[in-house]
Amino acid sequence: MKVSVTDLEEGKKQLQVEVSPEMLQKEMEPFYKKYQRSVQLPGFRKGKVPLEILKKSYYGRLIREEALGEILPKLYQKATKMGRVKPISPADIEQMEYEEGKPLRFAASVEVEPEIEVKDYKGLEVVKQVRQITDEDIEARIQKLREESGVERVVERPAKEGDLVLVDLQKLDKSGVPVVGSKIENQLVKLTPESLPELFDATKGEERKVVLTYPEDHPDANLAGTQERYLAKVKEVRERELPALDDEFAKDVSDCNTMEELREKIRSELVEETEQQAMKEVRRNIIEQLLRKYSFDVPERMVENSLSGLIERMKRVSPGEVDEELIRERARGEAIRQIRSRLILDAIAEAENIQVSDKDVEEKIAEIAQSKKTDPVKLKESIASEDRLEDLREELLRERTLEFLVRNAKITISKVH
């Protein structure tokens, strides 16, 4: 297959593709054989028509038309890889020339990703802040384990901070009128100064108005940064009885035999966690530096594709509850940021010839399968069925490129408390 690329106006290219008769025949052969089993022509029994006669018949033309409809997209995808073109829009197939026994020729005009010229990306200066683990950190983790191991019991007294309350929440509009069909029943909530403090001192059966404030990073873009008012009815007040901090507790919550061993294990875990967090911040810092270093506009189609993909994913999770206009407004800035960082990393990967092999993809799938406790073969089939294998490969490539930048950065370690 021969592929040449011509620049059109800014952000658009045209591929001229020529496919040899031999390659095209190999692609079409399965279609002929598929219909050979069912076609019947004069002088031949059903399923016994020779391929060469079938190809020259009326049915042969119909088969070629159907085959080309399925083969062209595959040939186009192969051509984009050969031409090193990264489309961001469906292709306009034009100027197609095809005659049996001769090369297939066609042209495809397509919008493409912007080409980024990258340089001076090695030796970025980054401060790696490593938090020092204190005895207070260890005791806080132990206290969390203690609370998780506690036993709940219902109490007949007013609720206080730290209690668990079982409530029904009836949503209210701005006027304080109940919203029909918007009631959450049997919600168990831990009372803190940040979570339903209005229910401090409330007793069983009591109703109070409460305000729920959703954080800016809430996964539901419709709720992020908003407040909602509810009428809360207390159904139960519960307290948690905590176990004693002794060696038996250490055995119950871990594979340790003593509290001393548990504390050492927790220290090691916290050191590892802080190291991972510090490296996460190093990577984020590198990305921010790259975004400042390379300034370019993102094609509107790429932004729209990203936002549409986000909306579709949210619809699968919450059908019928997605405010598309609100999501487009709130997620637009982050979408542009992610696209810009992706384009920069892709350009660096190309400049440094960083690659991802099929074996790398297989290992990544096995790693994901292990974390999800699922079969890697079935996971790969699932990823392939959703056409996400190439997405996984690109994600791996960017991870590898970012690690390359980390290795080549000038990192200064700062210990913080």
Q: Specify if 34 maps to a domain.
A: yes
Residues 350 and 283 reside in one and the same domain = yes
Question: First CA to last CA across the chain, in angstroms?
Answer: 61
The length of the chain is 417
237 three-state secondary structure: strand
Residues 184 and 260 reside in one and the same domain = no
Residues 351 and 213 reside in one and the same domain = no
Whole-prediction pTM value?
A: 0.72
Q: Specify if 390 maps to a domain.
A: yes
Specify the CATH number for the domain of residue 332.
1.10.3120.10
- Give the pLDDT score at 221: 66
Residues 258 and 378 reside in one and the same domain = yes
- Residue 99 domain boundaries: 2-111
Residues 321 and 202 reside in one and the same domain = no
254 three-state secondary structure: coil
Q: Specify if 132 maps to a domain.
A: no
Q: Specify if 140 maps to a domain.
A: no
> Which of 221, 241, 261 finishes a domain?
241
Specify the CATH number for the domain of residue 172.
3.10.50.40
Residues 166 and 196 reside in one and the same domain = yes
Burial 37-65 (b: 16+ CB within 10 A, else e): eebeeeeeeeeebeeeebbeeebbeebbe
Task: Quote the number of domains for the chain.
Answer: 3
Measured between alpha carbons, how far is 122 from 406 in angstroms, rounded to an integer?
Answer: 9
Residue type, position 311, single letter: I
- Name the residue among 396, 291, 390 with its Cα closest to residue 334: 291
> Which of 59, 80, 111 finishes a domain?
111
Q: Specify if 86 maps to a domain.
A: yes
Segment 1-51, tens digit of pLDDT: 899 998 888 889 899 999 998 898 888 888 878 877 777 788 777 777 777
Q: Specify if 136 maps to a domain.
A: no
- Give the pLDDT score at 340: 95
Residues 209 and 260 reside in one and the same domain = no
Residues 77 and 204 reside in one and the same domain = no
Q: Within 132-258, where are the H helices?
A: 135-148, 247-253
CA distances from 167 to 96, 174, 182, 242 (A): 67, 21, 14, 23
Question: What are the φ/ψ torsions at residue 100 (nearest 5 degrees)?
Answer: -50, 130
Residues 260 and 387 reside in one and the same domain = yes
What stretches in the chain show pLDDT beneath 50?
none
Q: Specify if 67 maps to a domain.
A: yes
Residues 278 and 393 reside in one and the same domain = yes
Residues 283 and 170 reside in one and the same domain = no
Measured between alpha carbons, how far is 180 from 174 in angstroms, rounded to an integer?
Answer: 14
Specify the CATH number for the domain of residue 26.
3.30.70.1050
Residues 234 and 275 reside in one and the same domain = no
Q: Specify if 36 maps to a domain.
A: yes
In the block, residue with structure tokens 């510090």? 278
Segment 348-367, tens digit of pLDDT: 999 999 999 989 988 989 88
